[in-house]
Amino acid sequence: MAGSDGVTDPAVQTLISAINSGDRAAFFDALAPAATMSDDGTDRDLADWAEREIFSSRGRLEVVSASDGGRSLIASYHNDTWGDMRTRWAFTVAGGKISRFETGQA
Could you read off the pLDDT of 31-78 as tens digits, one per residue? 999 999 999 999 999 999 999 999 999 999 999 999 999 999 999 999
DSSP 101: E
3-state DSSP helix/strand/coil % of the chain, to nearest 5: 35, 45, 20
Residue 95 predicted with pLDDT over 90: yes
pLDDT band at residue 29 under the 50/70/90 scheme: very high
| Distance between CA atoms of residues 50 and 24, nearest Å | 9
Where are the domains positioned within the chain? Answer: 3-105
Q: How many CA atoms lie within 13 A of 105 on its CB side?
A: 4
Domain 3-105 class in CATH: alpha beta
| Distance between CA atoms of residues 106 and 98, nearest Å | 21
Residue 4 predicted with pLDDT over 90: no
